[in-house]
Chains A and B, each alone.
Chain A
């Protein structure tokens, strides 16, 4: 099976305090720790497991800049066979539709039976997989948390829905699935693994190679534009307990007693 996995390099929200820069045009990107989007990592692991069962290749692709190459190498160190970087100044300012259009063009250069994305990334829109599927006219399922390959044409998939329930469906290939975390346990990647793939050639395709024009991608084609980042005027929020550890604990114990939090 030929599998394409779309990944993204993002600031790791588990490792960073996200601050907005002084003029609100961006988050403060100095000293941010970046990593592969968590959902994408599960998607790559799933692709590798499917390939190891039924054969084929796993290709990882990203839309980004030179620095995005590091996440492709990381996913190749996990076991992906190939990496493709889609990079061009003309892609800057793309909205979700633009990113999906670029990925559609890249997908068209291969013959993929299965395309995976993470269920969502740092902007939380959860949109690329569904857009890509519709552009390619392929069936789609979001929030997939189990995949069983039935035969060359069919998979049985589970979607995570509300309340911890799972929606089971049969889907025809070729198709596009967005992957939910927890579907598998992504393997650990060590420095040694990354070194092994450090010199592997990663082709870079730009707008001209992909025949993506300015009406489809980039800021000119974007109907959705981020205007700023801002700090909202929120309510008072939590009463913050101050002082040393002991002081905080004393105050908390009093509060817990009053609220019925201690037996």
Chain B
């Protein structure tokens, strides 16, 4: 079995949840073989992250360098190309960093690449059979990956979760002296924080969340009326913000807000993993969608196959008349 490596995403001195998830995925592929976690950064935060990662991995390679203070995919790719064996198995989260790094890294390593994996079906000599989705989560597929010349794999955050992990106490090895040239043609400047809007949807107990099914800007008002009748707050999925019908601060999802309501009404929302990734705390989820095949019905508690545009005013009327 080729050597297994993962990349640890971290922020503010804390490891991302994907550190534990990738450890589990790597164990599944390597059936218990030793896995090396690669941690890049600088200073005290980096040491803290290495400590946390050592709970999940038998070996941590620490790379401390001022040029790695911010995880610039171009610099990290240079480092990894210097470092990784040509037949290695390298695991990354399928997040905004993994998407930035993974495809180009695979090309430079002359390895295979497979993205957004949600399951591992079979591990054979030089070959993996994995599970992923296509068509916005509406179709599942098995994919065979030839890993004989190495492979870069990205895993959907949240797909591999287990309890009872985190007692490995791995060894932290400082590999900073092995860092070579890290010059980049894409230079990080700054992070611009998301603007806060008029309403804080992260504080709401009940959210009426609208998606593409709203069809027209004029219909947003109908959702607002329903929310008012329910004592709820209006939130939305990404297409509504892309269309500029609601502010970015109303968007639920990994690229928007993370919400923890008691009740989440998803109206005309298909339920992409990026959207569902923004819903925490196991709320009671009601999905209304005219497409009976919409992935949202797999994760909702209650589902209703109806056109939200017909459904909303009827529900508003019923609540108001009660």
Interface residues, chain A, with chain B CB atoms under 8 Å away: 11, 13-14, 17-20, 27, 96-97, 100, 119, 122-131, 133-135, 138-143, 156, 158-172, 175, 181-182, 185, 223-232, 234-235, 237-241, 245-246, 248-250, 252-253, 255-256, 259-263
A245: nearest residue on chain B (CB-CB)? B314
Q: CA–CA, A240 to B292, complex, Å?
A: 10
Query: Which listed residue, A125, A182, A252, touches B286 by the CB 8 Å rule?
Result: A252
Q: Are B302 and A27 in contact (CB under 8 A)?
A: no
Cβ–Cβ < 8 Å partners of B97 in chain A: 161
Q: Are B108 and A224 in contact (CB under 8 A)?
A: no
Q: Are B301 and A139 in contact (CB under 8 A)?
A: no
Interface flag for B315 (CB, 8 Å): yes
- Interface SS of chain A: mixed
Interface residues, chain B, with chain A CB atoms under 8 Å away: 72-74, 94-97, 99-108, 112-116, 129, 131-136, 138-146, 149, 184-194, 205-206, 212, 230-232, 238-239, 241-244, 248-249, 251, 254-258, 262-263, 265, 270, 284-287, 291-293, 297-306, 310-311, 314-315, 318-319, 322
Kindly provide the distance from the CB of A126 to the nearest chain B CB, expressed in whole angstroms: 5
B121: nearest residue on chain A (CB-CB)? A227
Q: Are B301 and A239 in contact (CB under 8 A)?
A: yes
Cβ–Cβ < 8 Å partners of A159 in chain B: 96, 100
Given contacts A162-B254, A182-B238, A235-B298, contact A249 B318 (CB under 8 A): yes
A243: nearest residue on chain B (CB-CB)? B304
Q: Are A168 and B191 in contact (CB under 8 A)?
A: yes
Known pairs A127-B115, A165-B192 / 7 extra A-B pairs, C-beta < 8 Å: A122-B136, A124-B115, A141-B186, A163-B254, A185-B243, A231-B140, A248-B306
Kindly provide the distance from the CB of B100 to the nearest chain A CB, expressed in whole angstroms: 5
Cβ–Cβ < 8 Å partners of A100 in chain B: 103, 107
Q: CA–CA, A5 to B230, complex, Å?
A: 46
Q: Are B193 and A131 in contact (CB under 8 A)?
A: no
B213: nearest residue on chain A (CB-CB)? A14
Query: Which listed residue, A128, A168, A227, A259, touches B189 by the CB 8 Å rule?
Result: A168
Cβ–Cβ < 8 Å partners of A27 in chain B: 135, 139
Q: CA–CA, A19 to B318, complex, Å?
A: 35
Q: Are A170 and B103 in contact (CB under 8 A)?
A: no
Kindly provide the distance from the CB of A18 to the nearest chain B CB, expressed in whole angstroms: 4
Q: Are B113 and A256 in contact (CB under 8 A)?
A: no
Kindly provide the distance from the CB of A78 to the nearest chain B CB, expressed in whole angstroms: 17
Q: CA–CA, A122 to B133, complex, Å?
A: 10
A157: nearest residue on chain B (CB-CB)? B186
Kindly provide the distance from the CB of A49 to the nearest chain B CB, expressed in whole angstroms: 16
Kindly provide the distance from the CB of A26 to the nearest chain B CB, expressed in whole angstroms: 10
B107: nearest residue on chain A (CB-CB)? A134
Cβ–Cβ < 8 Å partners of B101 in chain A: 130
Given contacts A27-B139, A122-B134, contact A224 B263 (CB under 8 A): no
- How many A-B pairs with Cβ below 8 Å? 263
Cβ–Cβ < 8 Å partners of A138 in chain B: 185
Q: CA–CA, A97 to B110, complex, Å?
A: 10
**7 intermolecular pairs with C-beta atoms under 8 Å apart:** A167-B192, A169-B189, A175-B185, A224-B114, A230-B140, A253-B315, A261-B230
Given contacts A140-B104, A226-B142, contact A97 B113 (CB under 8 A): yes
Query: Which listed residue, B115, B189, B293, touches A125 by the CB 8 Å rule?
Result: B115
Cβ–Cβ < 8 Å partners of A134 in chain B: 103-105, 107-108
Cβ–Cβ < 8 Å partners of B106 in chain A: 97, 131
Q: CA–CA, A39 to B102, complex, Å?
A: 19
Given contacts A18-B139, A162-B96, contact A238 B287 (CB under 8 A): yes
Among B239, B255, B287, max chain A CB count under 10 A is at: B255
Q: Are A13 and B136 in contact (CB under 8 A)?
A: yes
Kindly provide the distance from the CB of B68 to the nearest chain A CB, expressed in whole angstroms: 15
Q: Are A263 and B107 in contact (CB under 8 A)?
A: no
Cβ–Cβ < 8 Å partners of B189 in chain A: 156, 168-170
Cβ–Cβ < 8 Å partners of B212 in chain A: 14
Q: Are A262 and B231 in contact (CB under 8 A)?
A: yes
Cβ–Cβ < 8 Å partners of B242 in chain A: 181-182
Kindly provide the distance from the CB of B59 to the nearest chain A CB, expressed in whole angstroms: 27
Q: CA–CA, A250 to B143, complex, Å?
A: 44
Q: Are B142 and A139 in contact (CB under 8 A)?
A: no
Q: Are A18 and B194 in contact (CB under 8 A)?
A: no
Q: CA–CA, A122 to B254, complex, Å?
A: 19
Kindly provide the distance from the CB of A254 to the nearest chain B CB, expressed in whole angstroms: 11
Among A119, A135, A260, max chain B CB count under 10 A is at: A260
Q: CA–CA, A140 to B185, complex, Å?
A: 9
Q: CA–CA, A94 to B139, complex, Å?
A: 20
Q: CA–CA, A232 to B132, complex, Å?
A: 11
Q: Are B186 and A139 in contact (CB under 8 A)?
A: yes
Cβ–Cβ < 8 Å partners of A250 in chain B: 318
Kindly provide the distance from the CB of A21 to the nearest chain B CB, expressed in whole angstroms: 11
Q: CA–CA, A250 to B311, complex, Å?
A: 12
